[in-house]
Amino acid sequence: MTTDVHDTGEIRTMPEYPHLTATSRIDRAFIESQLFPLCEELRNGKAIDERLGGRALYSLFYEPSLLTRTSFERAMGLLGGQVYHTEDASQFFPVSNASHIDNIIKILASMRIDVVVLRSSALGVVERAEFADALTVINGGSADDHPTQALADLYTLRRELGGIDGASVAVVGRLEHRNVNALLRGLALFENIGVTLIPASGGVDPDVLHYCEERGMRVAIERELEAVRTADAIYLNAPRTLAHARLLRSRGALSLRIDKDFMAGLKPHCVIMDPMQRSGDFAVEVQDERLAFYRQSENALVMRMAILADMLA
């Protein structure tokens, strides 16, 4: 067991279990030497070997989720493991402050749960769950991070573009969101990355921008959609709700229409990604191979299979 010394001088015991709670703690060498190859192995049908037989995953979600929860649960099932969840964790596992999560995690561990996928935007909950040191914790979406979504998006970029180094990525829509924070932190692991931010409402967390720029990422903020024409990949991140989308449209802040004319103005190889948070937001009026939405969701399943297999097998 190791220790971690915080700025306050406090020494905290680091857990022995493997965890995935922060994009900033992911290593490029690990992604490229272990996760990406494992993804290709699992994608090609070698996963149905019950390698996680007897293992159990619990989805502990304090906020609604379709893709993250479904892909983790399906991934565990494909690997031979068992899955448990509650529809609304706040009704059954209430957390009024971060320290309460210790008890919840230890209860689940006592019932022989091996891994918890935890979604909560409450301050400190994911970090406290990790330090409970009772079982493996995966961040399924916190207030400002979503590491498994970042890994899925990086895997998609690699498959679609053939590589990530040197990529130019335009991010359009709601920038004040965990998906965008995680993607930018993940891209910062690679070389010669250029990112163009086109906000529909708020902007990226300044701390995240500083983190990325310190690592050599070129970041530009634009207001016009013309800026996407030089991108190798466009990442759409939708408004929170349909009402939010309508409000932004009424202010002229959201008018992206993906039609034949829009696609014709992009680079021939430009891929369009969307973590499928769509709520009547961006109008998609064309069929085009460069729209990678469903390939991206399949990649998320495969990546989460790889994550579980690496952590638990």
What does the DSSP 8-state code read for residue 14? P
pLDDT of residue 6: 42
What pLDDT digit, counting tens, does each position of 251-268 carry? 555 567 899 999 999 999
Is the backbone of residue 254 left (phi > 0), alpha (psi -120 to 50) or beta?
beta
Task: Look up residue 51 and give its two tokens.
Answer: 């390698």
Domain 147-298 class, CATH top level:
alpha beta
28 and 87 Cβ atoms separated by less than 8 Å: no
Question: Is the pLDDT assigned to residue 13 strictly greater than 70?
Answer: no
Helices 147-161 and 178-187, interaxial angle, to 10°? 60
Give the residue with greater pLDDT, 3 vs 140: 140
pLDDT for 206 equals 95
Average pLDDT value over all residues in the chain: 88
pLDDT > 60? residue 182: yes
Buried b (16+ CB within 10 A) or exposed e, 56-79: bbbbbbbeebebbbebbbebbebb
Checking if the pLDDT of 246 tops 60, the result is no
Nearest CA to 278 out of 145, 195, 179 is that of 179
Is the pLDDT confidence value at 228 over 80? yes
Alpha-carbon dihedral of residues 262, 179, 168, 170, nearest 10 degrees?
A: 30
**Each residue of 121-169: pLDDT tens digit?**
999 999 999 999 899 999 999 999 999 999 999 999 999 999 999 999 9
pLDDT of residue 34: 95
Structure pTM?
0.90
Nearest to 312 by CA among 69, 152, 81: 81
Please, where in the chain does CATH 3.40.50.1370 lie?
3-145+300-312, 147-298
Which residue do the tokens 């565990």 mark? 76
Percent of the chain with pLDDT over 90: 70
Confidence check: pLDDT of 250 > 60? no
48-62, 97-111, 277-291: which range is least confident on average?
Answer: 277-291
Instruction: Please report the pLDDT score of residue 15 as a whole number.
Output: 60
- Amino acid 2: pLDDT: 42
Residue 5 pLDDT exceeds 50: no
Q: Residue 96: pLDDT above 70?
A: no
Asked if pLDDT for residue 94 goes beyond 90, the answer is no
Selected from 1.10.10.10, 3.40.47.10, 3.40.50.1370, 3.40.50.300, the CATH number assigned to the domain covering 3-145+300-312 reads 3.40.50.1370
Closest alpha carbon to 66 in 85, 43, 92 = 85
Helices 293-312 + 147-161 axis angle, to 10: 120
Q: Look at residue 238 in the predicted model and tell me its pLDDT.
A: 76
How far is it, in rounded angstroms, from Cα 72 to Cα 57? 9
DSSP helix/strand/coil, 103: helix
Q: pLDDT digit string (tens) for 23-38?
A: 999 999 999 999 999 9
Residue 1 is predicted with a pLDDT of: 37
Q: Does residue 97 have a pLDDT over 70?
A: no
For residue 271, the tally of other CB atoms under 10 A from its CB is 23
Query: If you average pLDDT over residues 91-105, what whole number do you get?
Result: 78
Residue-level pLDDT at 257: 85
Nearest Cα to Cα of residue 273 among 228, 229, 236: 236
What pLDDT, on a 0 to 100 scale, did the predictor assign at position 252? Answer: 56
As a whole-number percent, the residues of the chain with pLDDT over 70 amount to 85
- 272 band by pLDDT with thresholds 50, 70 and 90: very high
